[in-house]
Amino acid sequence: MKEILGRISDKVFEKQAPETGWFTPFNIIAGIILIIGGILTIMRFTMGLETVTNLDNNNPWGIWIGFDLLCGVALAAGGYVTSATCYIFGLKRFHSAVRPAILTAFLGYALVVLALHYDVGRPWRLPYPVFYSQGTSSLLFEVGLCVFLYLSVLFIEYSPAALEWLGFKRARNMVVRLTLVLTIFGVVLSTLHQSSLGALFMIAPSKLHPLWYSAYLPVYFFISSMFAGMSMVIFEGSLAHKYLHHKMDQTHLDESEGVALGFSKAASFVMMGYMGIKILGLAIDNNWHYLATGWGLWYLVELIGFVLCPALLFAAAHREKNLKFARAAALWTVLGIVLNRLNISMVAFNYHLPADQRYFPSIMEIGTSVFIVTLGVVVYRFICTRMPILHEHPDYKAH
Amino acid sequence: MEFFSLQELYTYSKGITYLVMGAILVFMPLYWGFLTDREDD
Band of the pLDDT at B39, cuts 50, 70, 90?
confident
Residue of A152, A151, A114 whose CA lies nearest to A37 = A114
Q: What is the pLDDT of residues A39-59, one digit of tens each?
A: 999 999 999 999 999 999 999
Where is A93: in which H helix or E strand? Answer: none
| Cross-chain Cβ contact B28/A286 below 8 Å | no
Q: For residue A17, is pLDDT > 60?
A: no
Q: For residue A333, is pLDDT > 70?
A: yes
Using CA atoms, how far apart are residues A388 and A102, in angstroms rounded to an integer? 13
DSSP secondary structure, A167-197, as one string: T-HHHHHHHHTTHHHHHHHHHHHHHHHHHHH
Using CA atoms, how far apart are residues A9 and A198, in angstroms rounded to an integer? 42
Residues 6+ apart with CB under 8 A from A198: A217, A218, A219, A220, A221, A222
Q: What is the pLDDT of residues A128-143, one digit of tens each?
A: 999 999 999 999 999 9
Residue of A214, A176, A163, A133 whose CA lies nearest to A387 = A163
Band of the pLDDT at A397, cuts 50, 70, 90?
confident
pLDDT for A394 equals 85
| Number of domains within chain B | 1
Q: Who among B12, B24, B35 is closest to A269 (CB)?
A: B35
Would you tell me which residues 1-41 of chain B have a C-beta closer than 8 angstroms to some C-beta of chain A?
A: 9, 12-14, 16-17, 20-21, 24, 27-28, 31-32, 34-38
pLDDT for B35 equals 96
Q: What is the pLDDT of residues A252-308, one digit of tens each?
A: 999 999 999 999 999 999 999 999 999 999 999 999 999 999 999 999 999 999 999
Residues of chain A positioned with their CB less than 8 A from the CB of B28: 269, 272-273, 276
pLDDT for A20 equals 67
Using CA atoms, how far apart are residues A49 and A119, in angstroms rounded to an integer? 8
Using CA atoms, how far apart are residues A219 and A274, in angstroms rounded to an integer? 9
Interhelix angle for A363-386 vs A25-47, to 10°?
A: 130
Instruction: Identify the contact set of chain A against chain B, taking CB-CB distances under 8 A.
Output: 265, 268-269, 272-273, 276, 279-280, 283-286, 315, 318-319
Band of the pLDDT at A182, cuts 50, 70, 90?
very high
Q: For residue A21, is pLDDT > 90?
A: no
Residue of B10, B11, B16, B25 to mutate, testing the A interface (most A Cβ within 10 Å of its Cβ): B16
Using CA atoms, how far apart are residues A331 and A347, in angstroms rounded to an integer? 22
* A75, A337 contact by CB (below 8 A): yes
pLDDT for A8 equals 74
* A37, A372 contact by CB (below 8 A): yes
Using CA atoms, how far apart are residues A286 and A289, in angstroms rounded to an integer? 8
Q: Who among A265, A269, A284 is closest to B17 (CB)?
A: A284
Q: How far is CA A115 from CA A112, A120, A254, A264, A344, in A?
A: 5, 9, 36, 31, 19
Residue of A220, A149, A162, A224 whose CA lies nearest to A188 = A149
Q: How far is CA A292 from CA A238, A276, A298, B14, in A?
A: 39, 20, 10, 21
Residues of chain B positioned with their CB less than 8 A from the CB of A286: 9, 12-13, 16
Name the DSSP class of A89.
S
* pTM: predicted TM-score of the whole model, two decimal places: 0.94
Using CA atoms, how far apart are residues A3 and A166, in angstroms rounded to an integer? 11
Q: For residue A15, is pLDDT > 70?
A: no
Using CA atoms, how far apart are residues A30 and A233, in angstroms rounded to an integer? 23
β-bridge mates for residue A208, sequence order: A349
Nearest-Cα distance to chain A for B39, in Å, is 7
| Cross-chain Cβ contact B21/A272 below 8 Å | no
Using CA atoms, how far apart are residues A202 and A200, in angstroms rounded to an integer? 6
DSSP secondary structure, A314-382, as one string: HHHHHHHT-HHHHHHHHHHHHHHHHHHHHIIIIISBTTTS-GGGS----HHHHHHHHHHHHHHHHHHHH
Q: For residue B40, is pLDDT > 80?
A: no
pLDDT for A327 equals 97
* A332, A230 contact by CB (below 8 A): no
Q: Which residue of B has its CA nearest to A263?
A: B35
Question: Domain residues for B30?
Answer: 1-41
